[in-house]
């Protein structure tokens, strides 16, 4: 069974971004192996542009510029969904990757976790190389999907 995994990475090598910091989700497709199939840009809230990797405006991707636009006082988009974008921003970001089986970030906040839970999308909070995370997650799902024990 093929499925997708969304990864938060600043360099494509390490899982090093919190969910609220992600500007482009790396989307990996898993079949017999995994491969990068696309990058999905998180836009500044224009729903027409959501998910369009070809239409990226760098000013829309900056947390700092989004904070200035909304006059929030936080240094990021965390804290009970009350940072830049609030609960609506979290919902838009979750919807951007709702065709994925799971999301992998350094940290995913409570509000986002609840939204993912409603959509039956697994959340993995890790800070490791992307390849290591993908290997472990695909191993886990292979065992689960084939009703095999996770014990070694």
111 within 8 A of 92, measured Cβ to Cβ: no
pLDDT at residue number 65: 36
Residue 60 lies in a domain: yes
CB-based burial label for 23 (10 Å; 0-12, 13-18, 19+): middle
The pLDDT tens digits of the residues spanning 6-32 come to: 999 999 999 999 999 999 999 999 998
| CATH number of residue 34's parent domain | 3.30.420.130
Residue 2 structure tokens: 């093929």
Q: Which residues pair with 5 in a beta bridge?
A: 28, 102
Q: Terminal CA-to-CA distance of the chain, rounded, Å?
A: 23
Threshold 0.85, pTM exceeds = no
Residue 43 lies in a domain: yes
Residue 115 lies in a domain: yes
Residue 138 lies in a domain: yes
24 within 8 A of 113, measured Cβ to Cβ: no
In terms of residue numbers, what domain contains 58?
Answer: 3-145
Residue 150 lies in a domain: no
Residue 151 lies in a domain: no
| Separation CA 74–CA 100 (nearest Å) | 29
131 within 8 A of 28, measured Cβ to Cβ: no
The pLDDT tens digits of the residues spanning 40-93 come to: 999 864 333 333 343 333 333 333 334 433 444 444 444 444 444 567 889 999
127 within 8 A of 97, measured Cβ to Cβ: no
State how many domains the chain has. 1
């Amino acid at each position: 069974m093929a499925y997708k995994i969304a990864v938060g990475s600043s360099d494509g090598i390490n899982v090093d971004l919190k969910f609220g910091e992600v500007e482009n989700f790396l989307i990996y497709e898993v079949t017999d192996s995994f491969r990068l199939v696309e990058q999905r840009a998180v836009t500044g809230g224009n729903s027409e542009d959501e998910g369009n990797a070809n239409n990226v405006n760098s000013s829309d991707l900056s947390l700092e510029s989004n904070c200035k636009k909304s006059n929030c006082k936080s240094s990021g988009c965390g804290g009970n969904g009350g940072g830049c974008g609030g609960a609506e921003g979290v919902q838009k970001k979750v919807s951007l990757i709702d065709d994925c089986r799971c999301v992998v970030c350094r940290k995913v906040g409570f509000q986002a976790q609840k939204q993912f839970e409603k959509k039956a999308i697994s959340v993995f909070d890790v800070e490791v190389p992307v390849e290591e995370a993908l290997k472990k997650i695909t191993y886990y799902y292979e065992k689960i999907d084939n009703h095999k024990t996770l014990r070694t």
